[in-house]
Amino acid sequence: MKLLTTQLSYLLSQQQTRRNLKALLKFVLFLTAVVLLYAVVFHWIMVTIEKRDHSWLTGIYWTLTVMSTLGFGDITFHSDVGRAFSIVVLLSGIVLLLIVLPFAFIRFFYAPWLEAQMRLRAPREVPHDMSGHVIICRYETVAQGLIRKLKAFRIPYYVLEPDATLAANLYEEGVSVVTGEVDNSTTYAALRASEARMVLANADDATNTNITLTVRETAAKAPVVAIVESIDSVDILELAGATHVLPLKQRLGEHLAYRVTAERTNVHVIGTFRDLRIAEFPVQNTPLAGCMIRETRLRQRTGVNVVGVWERGHLLPAKPDTVLAESSVPVILGTAGQIADMESFLVTENVNRNPILVIGCGNVGYAVTCALKNKSLAFHVVERDKAVEERSSSIAGELFIGDAADRSVLMRAGLAEAPSAVITTNDDAMNIYLTVYCRRLNPRLRIVSRITHERNLEAIHRAGADFVLSYASLGAESIFSILQERELIMLGEGIDLFVAKVPESLAGKSLGKTNIGAETGLTVIAIQKGGDVVTNPPASAVIDSDSELLMIGSSEQRDEFAARFGV
């Protein structure tokens, strides 16, 4: 009863609802007037023409039975005038009672009531004892990836959604959501922002500035992480009070630029764990192409350990007899000095000094060109929007205006001789199409591409991409690394570094007998016990109960590990 009262009070508090109810009331009054008019006419015909006398209540009763098409037949006219009047009453009843009234009731009362009922399902505040939670100010692709990570680590979160209807839909889907205005300090008070572990401002730049300033009214010390579209907005968000500002599109462009093959092979450090560096390098045009890992003797020569090998988007375990193909990208683990020795060891053969091809020059594409410029690498840019010519002076590479789907444009830009191509358009379908096109026109080309939706990852790898990274994945991992107060480790799309305590079911067993790789697909790259770290442990290594396993793999593989071994 209390819930019904709440719903009705909320319904009546809406201005649009009050207008709807007035319109419904007007129709009901009109319908009542029609019924009374027909009752008067019924009484007049019965008295003057049919010479029969009925009460006024009988006239109303007859009118309603005819208009509603019940037609009991206990009261009928015997004259043609009466029968003609019955036809008029019947037809008007079909329209007014059977068609207009139900639709008016549903449109002006029942539908708004259902909407009010749905809106009230979304919570307006978090529990009064909530703390250590993450507040997400918009539900989009980055937020969805972050939520999956938060759930895996059992970190509470709440999505802020201004639209109560959308909030109710998210609530029904199992998303922790609170409805409220993003620019209202009372909203963040209801969210207990002062006790939050992080507030994520992930709307547009102007809204993020407003969110940051509003949060600071109620939570002066709460960590605020803001995502910016334009690099020029970084200073503004910092002045507004954001703790961390993430220009994700610029960072996405930089990560894509690091993965190209250019004049010489570079070792790219992708993360740090304590005093160890996790890095990768392309095998193409090096003496390692065609060799098995044991034949490379990298551990004896440089001290680094090969812990995995990328093959067209799939991270394979590093076995001694794994053959490194031209398209392979080994993942190595070592100290800073060992990584430097590895850089010196690599000698690039058959150097291709032709410009790298960058397809698309939006925010991400422009970030790619800036990163390539900083590395002193030559590049050509293909862009169909002529407006890019205005900033062509800052691009520093030769610009080709035209459609990248046009073969002549790509050939003029140097696709046939280019060592690498970076595809940066906003459309996943176009990126997949261009990947197939570029791969057919230059089979030896290293293709680096971005995607928007993770569901297209397999498709673009099948199309021929060597490395793929999405805005959502980079964003979720960047935010989560800030949350865990660690350096960002971006192995690749869908692949993460996991640290797990040894479960009781594996304690005392040798690594080979655990079958972790065979049963879950995870690759154990190190075993840590206290301050000691054993990298690339052999199958005979015994796992102690107080040790930790460092593994790389997907979140699904991590979940499988937890399910099988009882973490």
Domains 2-119 and 356-473 share a fold: no
- Which CATH superfamily groups domain 356-473? NAD(P)-binding Rossmann-like Domain (3.40.50.720)
Q: Does the pLDDT value for residue 2 go beyond 60?
A: no
518-529 pLDDT, tens digit each: 788 787 878 887
Residue 520's identity, in one-letter code, is T
CATH 3.40.50.720 corresponds to the domain 134-246 = yes
Q: Does the pLDDT value for residue 274 go beyond 80?
A: no
CATH 3.30.70.1450 corresponds to the domain 495-565 = yes
The confidence band for 117, taking pLDDT boundaries of 50, 70 and 90, is low
More confident site: 397 or 100: 100
Domain range 264-345, CATH class = alpha beta
Q: Of 35-49, 287-301, 507-521, 542-556, give the range with the top mean pLDDT.
A: 35-49
In what helix (H) or strand (E) does residue 373 lie, and over which residues does it extend?
helix 363-374
Share of the chain above pLDDT 70, in %: 92
More confident site: 117 or 489: 489
Q: Does the pLDDT value for residue 6 go beyond 60?
A: no
According to the model, what pLDDT value does residue 240 have? 94
Provide mean pLDDT across the span 15-25: 80
Contacts of 285 (CB under 8 A, 6+ apart): 261, 265, 326, 348, 349, 350, 351, 352
Sheet of strand 420-423: strand arrangement:
398-401, 379-383, 356-359, 420-423, 446-451, 467-470
Contacts of 144 (CB under 8 A, 6+ apart): 472, 476
288-338 pLDDT, tens digit each: 888 898 888 888 888 888 888 888 777 787 888 889 988 788 888 888 888
More confident site: 393 or 237: 237
Provide mean pLDDT across the span 472-494: 84
φ and ψ at residue 273, rounded to 5 degrees? -130, 110
According to the model, what pLDDT value does residue 314 have? 76
Rounded Cα distance between 142 and 419, Å, is 32
Provide mean pLDDT across the span 475-482: 91
The confidence band for 12, taking pLDDT boundaries of 50, 70 and 90, is low
The confidence band for 243, taking pLDDT boundaries of 50, 70 and 90, is very high
182 touches 211 (CB < 8 A): yes
216 touches 241 (CB < 8 A): yes
According to the model, what pLDDT value does residue 379 have? 92
356 touches 372 (CB < 8 A): yes
Residue ranges per structural domain of the chain: 2-119, 134-246, 264-345, 356-473, 495-565
Rounded Cα distance between 133 and 455, Å, is 28
According to the model, what pLDDT value does residue 350 have? 59
Other Cβ atoms less than 10 A from the Cβ of 19: the count is 11
Residue 486's identity, in one-letter code, is R
Contacts of 552 (CB under 8 A, 6+ apart): 307, 308, 315, 331, 491, 495, 496, 497, 498, 522, 523, 525
Q: Does the pLDDT value for residue 265 go beyond 80?
A: no
Residue 418's identity, in one-letter code, is A
Helices (H), 71-204: 80-93, 101-105, 111-119, 141-152, 164-172, 185-190
Helices (H), 14-55: 15-48
Helix, strand or coil, per DSSP, at residue 295: helix
Provide mean pLDDT across the span 255-261: 86
For residue 532, what are its two tokens?
A: 């000691």
Domain range 2-119, CATH class = mainly alpha
178-187, 395-404, 406-415, range with the lowest pLDDT: 395-404
According to the model, what pLDDT value does residue 453 have? 83
The confidence band for 45, taking pLDDT boundaries of 50, 70 and 90, is very high
Provide mean pLDDT across the span 183-206: 95
According to the model, what pLDDT value does residue 1 have? 47
123-135 pLDDT, tens digit each: 889 999 999 999 9
Helix, strand or coil, per DSSP, at residue 538: coil
According to the model, what pLDDT value does residue 120 have? 62
Q: Does the pLDDT value for residue 3 go beyond 60?
A: no
Rounded Cα distance between 266 and 377, Å, is 12
Pairing status of strand 305-311 against strand 329-334: antiparallel
The confidence band for 214, taking pLDDT boundaries of 50, 70 and 90, is very high
According to the model, what pLDDT value does residue 357 have? 94
Contacts of 549 (CB under 8 A, 6+ apart): 498, 499, 500, 501, 502, 516, 524, 526, 527, 528, 543
pLDDT, averaged across the chain:
86
Residue 286 per-residue DSSP state: S
Size (the chain), residues = 567
The residue among 467, 361, 378 whose CA lies nearest residue 417 is 378
Contacts of 59 (CB under 8 A, 6+ apart): 38, 39, 40, 42, 43, 46
